[in-house]
A and B are shown apart, each in its own frame.
Chain A
Amino acid sequence: MINKKVANITEALLGVEDNMTFMFGGFGLSGIPENAIAELVKRNIKGLTCISNNAGVDDFGLGLLLHQKQIKKMVSSYVGENDEFERQMLSGELDVELIPQGTLAERCRAAQAGFPAIYTPAGYGTEVAEGKETREFDGKMHVLEYAFKADFAFIKAWKGDAAGNLIFKGTARNFNPNMCGAAKVTVVEVEELVPVGELDPNQIHIPGIFVQRIFKGETYEKRIEQLTVRQRV
């Protein structure tokens, strides 16, 4: 067993510097690496390019980094629900690249899987495709999209072991598995760090080979963005 377990968050974020490119798992506030984000806020690392489907809300998730103006550029598919984000974008303080959600996922997966680029029909004929190479396959136009290049991927999983094997829960899975191994260093935080051998190899979503560092997150707030319930009758 190759050990990926690190002692604490300080060790987990070793090598993190200003002006780097980071990937963050999560959809909305579901499945975001809360502990890594908190540590980046604490260290006040600046000039970041962040690849993340969303940008959090004003006072949580990546919104915390935005408030301290730590982010230089966001690469996302949807950035609603965040007033500070909108303010920084419209004032020109923040550079924003909006791309289709499936393209975002596949550019992560391409980096993970060793493909330099992929062709997708998404965005053809729109401003997203402007300046990009296009090509026709079977009578349909496609856009060439490149694999991401990132320094760190910050991942949140449900369960993991010291070998770096991971299991995700519910829709908190989202972009997390696609970003594992898609950056130079993949740092995973888990709710439960179980002894090696406890996870059933048949049930593992991401094998440890894609992970460099794993640690147990200290606390999880798991904030709900849109609490929607039905009444009992």
Chain B
Amino acid sequence: MLDKNGIAKRIAKEVEDGFYVNLGIGIPTLVANYVRDDIEVEFQSENGVLGMGPFPFEGEEDADVINAGKQTITTLPGASFFDSAMSFAMIRGKHVDLTILGAMEVSENGDIANWKIPGKMVKGMGGAMDLVASAENIIVAMMHTNRAGESKLLKNCSLPLTGVGCVKKIVTNMAVIEVTAKGFKLLERAPGVSVEAIKNATEGELIIEGDIPEMEI
């Protein structure tokens, strides 16, 4: 089974030359660490920066330069700053090529829930609803099961939705899964994880066709 960095490493392989990419908070943020260095990619943060660089060195942090997780960041040559309406024009207008975000639940028709647990956690959706409603290329990065060991890949989401029918691909600690019209299609297994184990950890319909290769990471 993969750890969070392993999931990020596998997702990094989906990032192509010339892509503008929006990374959500959590595992998605780690993806930036594993993108091949022979391709040109620009990271967008919805609070208003394109061309995000690494965290600053100690003492060089600037309160006026942060990412959507409110962390201090730096910018790379060619970077730009912009206002929130323009930032979401990039997102809603489909100018961002790839969106990677975390989820609490995904259903077999591509619904996603990641912003609210009624009565427990109500922090808000931030930019997630805009991102999932408009992006054409959405990859969800998450653990296959929750802390209680229950599947996060469901027939129907039980939590309040963030978006409907929008998730295309899911990379978990156990598998790479494509969301198809018929349900979750198993594409790859994590190293050392059996198809049977993935099936047991997936509540929604899991489509298994032929031999399922092990992920290369």
Query: What is the minimal beta-carbon distance from A156 to any residue of chain B, in angstroms?
Result: 10
Do residues A174 and B58 form an inter-chain contact, with CB atoms below 8 A?
Answer: no
Given known A-B contacts A27-B66, A171-B65, A178-B83, A127 and B160 have beta carbons under 8 A apart: yes
* Selected contact of B84 from candidates A178, A224, A229, CB within 8 Å: A178
Give chain A interface residues in 89-110, CB to chain B under 8 Å. 89-90, 96, 98-106, 108-109
The segment from B87-95, B140-148, B173-181, B185-193 found at the interface with A is B87-95
Q: Chain A: which residue is nearest B72 at the CB level? A: A228
Give chain A interface residues in 162-208, CB to chain B under 8 Å. 168-178, 205
Do residues B161 and A126 form an inter-chain contact, with CB atoms below 8 A?
Answer: yes
Q: 1/0 per residue A205-233: CB within 8 Å of B?
A: 10000000000000000111111111110
Q: Chain A contacts of B69 at CB under 8 A?
A: 226
Q: Chain A: which residue is nearest B126 at the CB level? A: A78
Complex: A60 Cα to B137 Cα, angstroms: 38
Q: 1/0 per residue B134-170: CB within 8 Å of A?
A: 1000000000000000000000000011111100000
Q: Does B103 contact A (CB under 8 A)?
A: no
Q: Does B182 contact A (CB under 8 A)?
A: no
Q: Chain B: which residue is nearest A224 at the CB level? A: B63
Do residues B64 and A126 form an inter-chain contact, with CB atoms below 8 A?
Answer: no
Q: Chain A: which residue is nearest B92 at the CB level? A: A102
Q: Chain B contacts of A98 at CB under 8 A?
A: 122, 124-125
* Selected contact of A122 from candidates B60, B82, B87, B129, CB within 8 Å: B129
Complex: A13 Cα to B54 Cα, angstroms: 40
Complex: A227 Cα to B58 Cα, angstroms: 9
* Selected contact of A102 from candidates B57, B68, B88, B111, CB within 8 Å: B88
Complex: A114 Cα to B69 Cα, angstroms: 32
Q: Chain B: which residue is nearest A112 at the CB level? A: B85
Complex: A80 Cα to B58 Cα, angstroms: 26
Do residues A79 and B124 form an inter-chain contact, with CB atoms below 8 A?
Answer: yes
Q: Does A134 contact B (CB under 8 A)?
A: no
Q: Does B99 contact A (CB under 8 A)?
A: no
Given known A-B contacts A27-B66, A122-B92, A171-B66, A101 and B127 have beta carbons under 8 A apart: yes
Most A CB contacts (10 A, CB to CB) among B47, B57, B129 go to B129
Given known A-B contacts A80-B124, A229-B55, A108 and B72 have beta carbons under 8 A apart: no
28 A-B residue pairs with CB within 8 Å: A30-B64, A79-B122, A80-B123, A86-B122, A102-B127, A102-B129, A109-B85, A120-B133, A121-B92, A121-B134, A122-B133, A122-B134, A125-B163, A126-B129, A170-B62, A171-B48, A171-B66, A173-B81, A174-B47, A174-B83, A175-B84, A222-B63, A226-B69, A227-B71, A228-B61, A229-B56, A230-B57, A232-B57
B residues adjacent to A (C-beta < 8 A): 45-49, 54-58, 60-73, 81-85, 87-88, 91-92, 111, 122-130, 133-134, 160-165
